[in-house]
């Protein structure tokens, strides 16, 4: 079953309570929460107090994406938000299995993320230990970047790798996800789609969030 994760960083922060109610009414399955340290990426976003308050304000589960160095430190810092998923970058972890074990110790589902230029084979040793793989289709840090079509091959390779695995992780994609780019993934379709400014928020139209979120499937149904 395909799922939508709304990138909460892209929401109207001055009217966040209203945004949450609209997302709940649209049956959005996850809130994708980017945590950025200004070191691993050239941006800062979403501290633990913010995400803890967010968790208390909505019934939608959190999907925390740690775009940080020293992921173990941030796992400990952000576990208080009680997310459903927490992802860290394979590129930033000196011992990915240690990070996975730490996430699991907090009863959080681990996810492993990789950047567009990272070979997909880098995460193969961890596929039996994570619940989700976050495939970045842009470089993490800023919204509005161009979708990297090279990631399409990586998704296809990953789908082939896990096709006979009964415990296969979900595949999540993040970065300029819209009707067109979802259509490009038709032959190797991921499971979770992170929607932000290019599809869901700040659009100059009269559609509600339900209509906007369903509109992207028109390219593949």
Rg of the chain in Å (alpha carbons) = 16
Instruction: Give the mean model confidence (pLDDT) for residues 178-204.
Output: 85
pLDDT band at 16 (very low <50, low <70, confident <90, very high): very high
pLDDT band at 110 (very low <50, low <70, confident <90, very high): very high
Q: Which residues pair with 47 in a beta bridge?
A: none
The pLDDT > 90 percentage for the chain reads: 70
Residues involved in catalysis: 34, 174
State which residues form the domain around 115: 3-219
Q: What is the pLDDT of residue 205?
A: 60
Is pLDDT at 90 greater than 90 in this prediction?
A: yes
pLDDT band at 58 (very low <50, low <70, confident <90, very high): very high
Instruction: Give the mean model confidence (pLDDT) for residues 183-212.
Output: 80
| Count: domains in the chain | 1
DSSP letters for the chain: --EEEEEGGGS-GGGHHHHHHHHHHTT--EEEEEEEESSSSS-EE--HHHHHHHHHH-SSPEEEEEE-SSHHHHHHHHGGG--SEEEEEGGG-SSHHHHHHHHHHTT-EEEEEE-TTS-GGGGGGGTTT-SEEEEESS-TT-TTPPP-THHHHHHHHHHHHHTT-TTPPEEEEESS-SHHHHHHTTTS--SEEEE-TTTTSS-SSS--HHHHHHHGGGGT-
Is pLDDT at 54 greater than 90 in this prediction?
A: yes
Instruction: Give the mean model confidence (pLDDT) for residues 7-22.
Output: 92
pLDDT band at 146 (very low <50, low <70, confident <90, very high): confident
Q: Which residues pair with 7 in a beta bridge?
A: 32
CATH number of the structural domain spanning residue 200 = 3.20.20.70
Is pLDDT at 221 greater than 70 in this prediction?
A: no
Is pLDDT at 193 greater than 60 in this prediction?
A: yes
């Amino acid at each position: 079953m395909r799922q939508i994760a709304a990138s909460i960083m892209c929401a109207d922060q001055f009217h966040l309570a209203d945004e949450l109610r609209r997302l709940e009414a649209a049956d959005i399955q996850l809130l994708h929460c980017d945590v950025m340290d200004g070191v691993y990426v050239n941006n800062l976003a979403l501290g633990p107090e913010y995400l803890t308050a967010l968790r208390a304000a909505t019934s939608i589960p959190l999907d925390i994406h740690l775009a940080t160095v020293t992921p173990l430190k941030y796992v400990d810092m952000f576990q208080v938000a009680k997310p459903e998923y927490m992802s860290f970058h394979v590129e930033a972890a000196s011992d990915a299995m240690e990070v996975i074990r730490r996430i699991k110790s907090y009863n959080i589902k681990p996810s492993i993320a990789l950047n567009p230029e990272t070979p997909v084979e880098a995460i193969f040793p961890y596929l039996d230990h994570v619940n989700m793989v976050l495939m970045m289709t842009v470089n993490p840090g800023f919204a509005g970047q161009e979708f990297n079509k090279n990631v399409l091959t990586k998704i296809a390779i990953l789908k082939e790798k896990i096709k006979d695995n009964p415990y296969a992780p979900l595949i999540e994609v993040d970065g300029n996800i819209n009707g067109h780019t979802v259509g490009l993934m038709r032959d190797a379709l991921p499971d979770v789609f992170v929607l932000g400014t290019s599809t869901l928020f700040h659009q100059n139209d009269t559609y509600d969030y339900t209509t906007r979120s369903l509109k992207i499937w028109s390219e593949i149904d």
